[in-house]
């Protein structure tokens, strides 16, 4: 698990791709400081470049992949299409970059879409109007197997990779759920406890309500203990080989669906 305490925004360019990066003076816990990457940069030597999600017409027919909604303003959500608002999502995530939501299924013809909400309890969903958001799609998805301690990346039905992973220990399990990649963080120390990149998931620990002073958010990240990979030893996060997480940071867009089972 990881949690960020204080945030300072700045603009930057990485790998020739324009991105918003936020300096993070402190990660509560072992990871040190880091930077938010709103769009993954191209990574030289990794063989993987950041995908460029293509906007989708609001009245488009069925899409092949999964829809992603990016907010541009505070957005109310309802418990049913056309219903009264039961909450409002900020335009930006906690790092000050545009909020990204995974769409469940497809947007309907009435202009509403069901989305996964990055809030407790895990699995929360709501409906938003699509007129005020940008819809893109991805054909990528991620499956984490708690039984085999592995992570699989798919592009449509094609398996891109299956790699060993460290998942939560029995007393601090990784919550089984359907979630998505909500944030991408680049720690200042790539050799620290979180490795070179952290994908923050839109889900939270069931074992902890607070972890090191902040909400106990689950992530997929690198590590500084290679021997832990392939074993259920974490506080709930999914640890990967540092080379693998670097490759995924250049491959998977925020909003990519993640299934943990």
Residue 200 to residue 181: CA distance in whole angstroms: 6
Is 27 marked active-site? no
Q: What angle do CA 34, 35, 41 make, to 5 degrees?
A: 130
The beta strands (E) that lie in 29-65 are given as 34-37
Q: Is 220 exposed, middle or buried (0-12, 13-18, 19+ CB in 10 A)?
A: buried
Q: Is 80 exposed, middle or buried (0-12, 13-18, 19+ CB in 10 A)?
A: exposed
Is 237 marked active-site? yes
Least Cα distance to 195 among 216, 221, 171 occurs for 221
Q: 53 in helix, strand or coil?
A: coil
Out of 26, 27, 178, 221, pick the active-site residue.
221
Query: Annotated catalytic sites, by residue?
Result: 221, 237
């Amino acid at each position: 698990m990881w949690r960020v305490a204080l945030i300072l925004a700045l603009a930057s360019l990485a790998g020739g791709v324009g991105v918003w990066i936020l300096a993070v003076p402190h990660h509560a816990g072992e990871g040190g400081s880091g930077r938010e990457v709103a769009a993954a940069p191209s990574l030289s030597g990794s063989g993987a470049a950041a995908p460029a999600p293509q906007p989708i017409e609001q009245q488009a027919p069925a899409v092949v992949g999964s829809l992603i909604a990016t907010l541009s303003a505070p957005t109310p959500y309802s418990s049913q299409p056309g219903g009264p608002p039961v909450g409002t999502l900020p335009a930006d995530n906690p790092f000050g970059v545009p909020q990204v939501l995974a769409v469940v299924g497809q947007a309907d013809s009435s202009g509403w879409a069901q989305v996964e909400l990055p809030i407790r309890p895990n699995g929360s969903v709501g409906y938003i109007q699509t007129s005020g958001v940008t819809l893109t799609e991805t054909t990528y998805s991620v499956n984490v197997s708690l039984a085999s301690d592995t992570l699989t990346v798919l592009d449509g039905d094609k398996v891109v990779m299956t790699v060993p992973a460290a998942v939560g220990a029995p007393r601090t399990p990784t919550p089984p759920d359907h979630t998505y990649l909500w944030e991408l963080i680049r720690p200042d120390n790539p050799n620290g406890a979180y490795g070179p990149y952290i994908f923050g998931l839109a889900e939270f620990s069931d074992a902890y309500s607070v972890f090191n002073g902040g909400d106990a958010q689950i992530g997929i990240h690198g590590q500084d203990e290679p021997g832990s990979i392939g074993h259920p030893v974490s506080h709930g996060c999914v640890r990967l080989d540092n080379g693998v997480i670097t490759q995924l940071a250049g491959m998977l867009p925020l909003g990519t669906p993640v299934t943990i089972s």
